Amino acid sequence: MDMNFLELAKKRKTTYEFSNKKIKDSDLKKILEAGRWAPSCSNSQPWHFIIVKNNNLIEKLIMTANYGDFHNEPSVMIAGVLLQDRCIGKGFACYKGKDSGVYDSFMSIGMAILSMNLEAVSLGIDSCIITPEQKNVKNLLNIMAPDYVPLILALGYEAKDAFHKKRERLSLKEITSKEVFIKHGTK
């Protein structure tokens, strides 16, 4: 697929209904590589990725998306595990010192998952990002406290006649201001 980055970013969308078509291992490897090269605070790389292909486990993982919406099963899921022992600061901060109130390592996981997501789009693979309920997801994936699973990336190919949510974004004018913050109202 040949497209510039903005086209790629616009093409990414949440897929709710996947077909049975499987993803090639060579594509999966490229997607994981994109995650591996994602930025992280102080290059802490506070992540571990669990690749799930087992249908029974995928069915159960989908059900952990309590704050998301109903999906049918993708062919692969990549769970992004946040490793607390790679975060040397307080809480989940990746640097020592005062707690800034911003936990960089969660964002690092987000950037890795997004890198993988965009790589998938570039390969013509559909996806959705799931925020799982922690207790259930940790049980299913054998994750011990204090590690977290902030995000799971579901990958596959969209089913024929799949439901499409209307895609809309606030305008640039609404989400930007110059030099200092000016709130333009909420959605």
Partner 1 sequence: MGQNKTLNNFLQKINYDNGVYTIIVEPSKYNQTCSELAAFCNKKFKLPGIYVSLNKPSTFVEKMLKKEKIDTENILFIDWEDKSIDKDNHVTLSSKSLTEVSIAISGVCNYTDMKYILLDSLNILLIYNPLVKVQKFVQFLINKARNLEVLMFLIIVKEKNADNLIPTLIEFSDKSIEI
Closest approach of partner 1 to the CB of residue 10, in Å: 21
Closest approach of partner 1 to the CB of residue 173, in Å: 22
In the block, residue with structure tokens 């499409």: 164
Handedness of CA 89, 115, 62, 167 (dihedral sign): positive
In total, the chain counts a number of residues equal to 187
In the block, residue with structure tokens 């969209």: 158
Are the CB atoms for 78 and 49 separated by under 8 Å? yes
Indicate the residue among 166 and 183 with the shorter CB distance to partner 1: 166
Handedness of CA 49, 55, 56, 61 (dihedral sign): positive
Closest approach of partner 1 to the CB of residue 151, in Å: 17
Indicate the residue among 63 and 107 with the shorter CB distance to partner 1: 63
Closest approach of partner 1 to the CB of residue 166, in Å: 9
DSSP SS3 for 44: coil
Indicate the residue among 68 and 110 with the shorter CB distance to partner 1: 68
Indicate the residue among 36 and 165 with the shorter CB distance to partner 1: 165
Chain residues in the site for partner 1 (CB under 8 A):
16-17, 59, 63, 66-72, 133, 163, 165
